[in-house]
Amino acid sequence: MKLLIYILSFFVLNNFAFANNEEPSPSDVGVDEKLGEMVPMNITFSDEYGKPVNLGQLINGKPTVVSLVYYRCPGICSPIMNGMSEVIDRLDMEAGKDYNVVTISFDPREDYLMASEKKKNYLASFKNKQVDENTWRFLTGDSTNIAKICNALGWKYIKQGDDFAHGAAIMILSPEGKVVRYLYGVEYLPFDFKMALTEASEGRTGATISKLMKLCFSYDPEGRKYVLDFTRVSGGIVLLLMSVFVVYLVVKRKKSDSSNTSSNNESNNDSENKKV
């Protein structure tokens, strides 16, 4: 259903652009990935209460999920935020404790009242968890600061009449503000979400299962998802079997040496008895 909404909204926006002779070029819309680059931590926005806040305050030393939308979007912005809400609700990591979530409007005409209304709607949408109001932040900003964050994240869009043509993705930042991963579409698997957050948390001590999962899975940039790394897994199995074999040989040798020593002792005792 969400995929259908995404497709329909894409065609609606493209038809609208064609009618206004503003057909977007593929290079004008989408994401130009900035993996490994830092976002400016001093960019200032307005929060849901109309108060100024900078990005560094919101990241606050935790992995952070960032989405760029505009709140009155008739297309895929709501499905993006719905997808985020669902995966946050299902994830076995706690928003606010293990990671932060920030949504930023890239439309400078929108104000904190619109952000506040969206926040109320999404905080009320959780079924399995009680999420603190400071966990998922909804921001607005002026055109200068919006341009800074969009450029830092490689987020490309064009204005079409009263709306915008843009892509569907969310970005994962490290605790220091480094761009670590992009997750595309409007639905996010808890596994992909958790793996991206685990990668963003490098340097922090994580659960053993998370470390094991990270060893067995790698990110496929073409498929844009995490896949089982057969080479890594098979190599690990070979090393494990070799280790088991070496241990077996060592134990067998020790038993053999022990048996030989015992036999020699018995032979010596027999010889001494015969002499007596």
Which percentage of the chain shows pLDDT scores above 70? Answer: 66
- In the DSSP assignment, the letter for residue 92 is S
CA distance 140 to 138: 7
Helix H or strand E encompassing 79: helix 77-90
Candidates 178, 219, 171, 169; CA nearest to 195 is: 219
Beta bridge partners of 53: 45
pLDDT above 80: residue 25: no
Does this model's pTM top 0.75?
A: no
Q: Are 84 and 101 in contact (CB under 8 A)?
A: yes
In whole numbers, what is the pLDDT of the chain averaged over residues? Answer: 78
Who's near 72: CB < 8 A, 6+ residues apart? Answer: 107, 110, 114
The single residue listed with the structure tokens 């305050």 is 57
Q: Are 14 and 23 in contact (CB under 8 A)?
A: yes
pLDDT above 50: residue 4: no
Termini Cα distance of the chain: 97
pLDDT tens figures, 29-61: 889 989 889 999 999 999 999 999 999 999 999
